[in-house]
């Protein structure tokens, strides 16, 4: 039998090639370009190029001259978890201007935020599977996400960009059947997580594609200020809802899932994925407790100021969004906001990509980008 | 052990001979101000000192102080070990806005500093790759400055003003 030898010209062995990668994730449709330097199939360097979606949130917010008017624009920062963006901003303004919020409003905000967290994680997990070629879990996730969006639509009138949380309260009271709708969702969703686990978590192809890939060690994660599932996937038990509690999160009993390297190494793509899956269960726990404790009566507009009186001062307030730490740094003057900086988790988490993709295969780079779960609206603002 | 900003300032000033100023805020958070000449040394102390251990640079923001003709950088630091937080500020004149980079201490500063350079115009000395990040490389001006005037055309395309 003749031995087949592949021709290997000397110059082919030495040359690296720079190629453009993307769009990949449904949320990166032409807004993220990754310059990848490859040696054959191996990634030597991966540099994200961002800025294509930049819509000048900060410039615009500073020009409005009124804290209340900024809220609808915060929605557009991370459009798949808009309620968290609103909530973070509103809490920052309330802290700065010392506005007290009624109990019922706090409970409502927590319930809505946790529903949104589940919706956002479902999108993240579904599209992560899609990145790796698994189409069915994507549909499963979207069916469930749709149920949440219907609830949120009933509450606020909008499906994605809500403009529902306002400084001091909520835009309007919740619909009568909100509680029963939410209970119905919770009871239907619990068994679905098991189905999702059968399809993805324990699927050997999925494990092969994600375990030991894109490993982010804990100390590197902290040095890059990673947050959310990206940090917790690396085994660090750090959740702002618990460790630097805001709103009324300290009243609820829930756990912080962390990556343990169950099928590979701590901090790999599978760990980041599983943290999101387990967080959905924790969110369900929070919603259940909040629904039970929430007072039935109360005016949600009670503490909303007619005109916001601005004070001179500044503050940095961070909240835990599905993607991690969202911080608003606000400098305020007597006349209104002077500087509003949004520190978004997607921006910070994406900056880690060059550090964790070195030496990966090109096909694995797809898994790594998917596992970071970025939303480009949050990267560019 | 958790320390307040005032305690941290006192602790730091033992070593920095009173060069660090504590500013108490009436509204919101208090901060410390520091001159660019000792910023890097201070940042290293903040990160490595056993009592401080600020291992997390949460946020780095550029600010344009138009009235004073100054540019500033605000650092929000957090120690996940001791659970204390610190706001550190540095200011430089508009004509010569050079601030030492802290990228080698906290990698997260890489993109934050590029953003502050791009949008405000602060130059970070020692940054390994100080390029614009959100606007095109050949864009004119720094959009987040308060006196920014948008260029009318960019590569023969009107920018809509």
Mean of all residue pLDDT scores within chain B: 88
Predicted TM-score (pTM) above 0.80? yes
Query: Which residue in the block uniquely carries the two structure tokens 């916001």?
Result: A308
pLDDT above 80: residue A348: yes
Best residue in A92, A230, A329 to probe B by mutation, most B CBs within 10 Å? Answer: A329
Backbone angles phi, psi at A85, to 5 degrees: -65, -40
Of the candidates A323, A310, A319, A251, the one whose C-alpha atom is nearest the C-alpha of residue A90 is A319
Mean pLDDT of A15-27: 73
pLDDT above 80: residue A276: yes
Put simply, whether A312 touches B (Cβ < 8 Å) is yes
Whole-angstrom distance, CA of residue A47 vs CA of residue A35: 5
Mean of all residue pLDDT scores within chain A: 87
Give, rounded to a whole angstrom, the gap between the first and last alpha carbons of chain A. Answer: 62
E-strand stretches of A248-323? 313-321
Put simply, whether A256 touches B (Cβ < 8 Å) is no
Question: What was the ipTM of the complex prediction?
Answer: 0.90
String of b and e for B135-161 (b: at least 16 CB within 10 Å)?
A: beeeeeebbbbeeeeeeeeeeeeeeee
Of the candidates B2, B27, B107, the one whose C-alpha atom is nearest the C-alpha of residue B60 is B107
pLDDT above 80: residue A26: no
Put simply, whether B107 touches A (Cβ < 8 Å) is yes
Put simply, whether B33 touches A (Cβ < 8 Å) is no
The answer to whether A172 and A95 have CB atoms below 8 angstroms apart is no
With 0-12 / 13-18 / 19 or more C-beta atoms within 10 angstroms meaning exposed / middle / buried, residue B132 is middle
Put simply, whether A50 touches B (Cβ < 8 Å) is yes
Of the candidates A244, A279, A236, the one whose C-alpha atom is nearest the C-alpha of residue A95 is A244
Residue contact B108–A223, C-beta within 8 A: yes
Do strands B123-125 and B98-100 pair parallel, antiparallel, or not at all (unpaired)? parallel
String of b and e for A195-213 (b: at least 16 CB within 10 Å)?
A: ebeebbbebeebbebbbeb
Cis bond before residue A23 (omega within 30° of 0): yes
Residue contacts between A and B (CB atoms, under 8 Å): 89
DSSP A296: S
pLDDT above 90: residue A149: yes
**Residue A3 — very low, low, confident or very high, per pLDDT cuts 50/70/90?**
low
Backbone angles phi, psi at A77, to 5 degrees: -65, -60
Closest residue, chain B, to A310 (C-alpha): B27
Contact list, A313 vs chain B (CB under 8 Å):
25-28
pLDDT above 80: residue B32: yes
Whole-angstrom distance, CA of residue A65 vs CA of residue A62: 6
**Residue A85 — very low, low, confident or very high, per pLDDT cuts 50/70/90?**
very high
pLDDT tens for each residue of A96-121: 888 888 888 999 999 999 999 999 99
Residue A1 pLDDT: 42
**Residue A7 — very low, low, confident or very high, per pLDDT cuts 50/70/90?**
low
Across the interface, which of A50, A225, A236 has its CB nearest the CB of B58?
A: A225
**Residue A24 — very low, low, confident or very high, per pLDDT cuts 50/70/90?**
low
pLDDT tens for each residue of A159-204: 889 989 988 888 888 888 888 999 999 999 999 888 888 888 888 8
Put simply, whether A212 touches B (Cβ < 8 Å) is no
Mean pLDDT of A325-339: 89
pLDDT above 60: residue A330: yes
């Amino acid at each position: 039998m003749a031995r087949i030898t592949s021709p290997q010209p000397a110059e082919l062995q030495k040359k690296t090639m720079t190629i453009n990668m993307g769009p990949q994730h449904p949320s990166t449709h032409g807004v993220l370009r990754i310059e990848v330097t490859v040696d054959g199939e191996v990634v030597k360097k991966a540099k994200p190029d961002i800025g294509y979606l930049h819509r000048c949130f900060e410039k615009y917010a500073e020009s409005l001259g009124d804290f209340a008017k900024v809220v609808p624009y915060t929605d557009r920062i991370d459009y798949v978890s808009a309620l968290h963006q609103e909530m973070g901003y509103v809490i920052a303004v309330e802290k700065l201007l010392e506005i007290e919020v009624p109990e019922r409003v706090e409970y409502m905000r927590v319930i809505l935020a946790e529903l949104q967290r589940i919706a956002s994680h479902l999108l993240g997990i579904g599209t992560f599977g899609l990145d790796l070629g698994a189409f069915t879990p994507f549909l499963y996730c979207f069916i469930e996400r749709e149920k949440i969006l219907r609830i949120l639509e009933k509450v606020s009138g909008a499906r994605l960009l809500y403009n529902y949380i306002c400084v001091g309260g909520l835009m309007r009271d919740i619909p009568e059947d909100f509680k029963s709708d939410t209970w119905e969702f919770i009871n239907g969703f619990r068994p679905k997580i098991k189905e999702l686990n059968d399809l993805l978590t324990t699927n050997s192809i999925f494990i092969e594609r994600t375990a030991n890939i894109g490993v982010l060690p804990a100390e590197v994660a902290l040095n890059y200020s990673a947050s959310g599932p990206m940090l917790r996937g690396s085994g660090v038990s750090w959740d702002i809802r618990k460790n630097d509690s805001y709103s009324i999160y300290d009243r609820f009993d829930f756990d912080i899932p962390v990556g343990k390297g169950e099928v590979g190494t701590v901090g790999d793509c599978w760990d980041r994925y599983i943290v999101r899956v387990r967080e959905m269960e924790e969110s369900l726990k929070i919603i259940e407790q909040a629904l039970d404790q929430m007072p039935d009566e109360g005016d949600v507009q009670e503490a909303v100021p007619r005109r916001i009186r601005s004070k001179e001062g500044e503050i940095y307030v961070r909240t835990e969004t599905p993607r991690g730490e969202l911080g608003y740094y606000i400098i305020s003057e007597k006349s209104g906001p002077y500087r509003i900086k949004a520190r978004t988790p997607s921006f910070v988490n994406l900056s880690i990509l060059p550090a964790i993709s070195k030496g990966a295969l090109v096909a694995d780079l797809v898994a790594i980008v998917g596992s970071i779960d970025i939303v480009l609206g949050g990267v560019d603002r | 052990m958790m320390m307040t900003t005032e305690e941290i300032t006192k602790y730091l000033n033992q070593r920095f001979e009173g060069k660090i100023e504590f500013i108490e805020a009436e509204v919101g958070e208090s901060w410390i101000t520091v001159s660019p000449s000792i910023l890097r040394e201070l940042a290293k102390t903040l990160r490595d000192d056993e009592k401080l251990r600020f291992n997390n640079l949460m946020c780095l923001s550029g600010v344009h102080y138009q009235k004073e003709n100054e540019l500033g950088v605000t650092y929000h630091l957090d120690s996940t070990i001791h659970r204390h937080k610190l706001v550190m500020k540095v200011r430089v004149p508009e004509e010569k806005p050079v601030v030492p980079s802290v990228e080698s201490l906290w990698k997260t500063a890489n993109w934050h500093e590029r953003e502050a350079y791009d949008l405000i115009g602060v130059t970070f000395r020692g940054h390994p790759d100080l390029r614009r990040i959100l606007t095109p490389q050949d864009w004119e001006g720094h959009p987040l400055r308060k006196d920014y005037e948008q260029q009318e055309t960019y590569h023969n395309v009107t920018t809509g003003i």
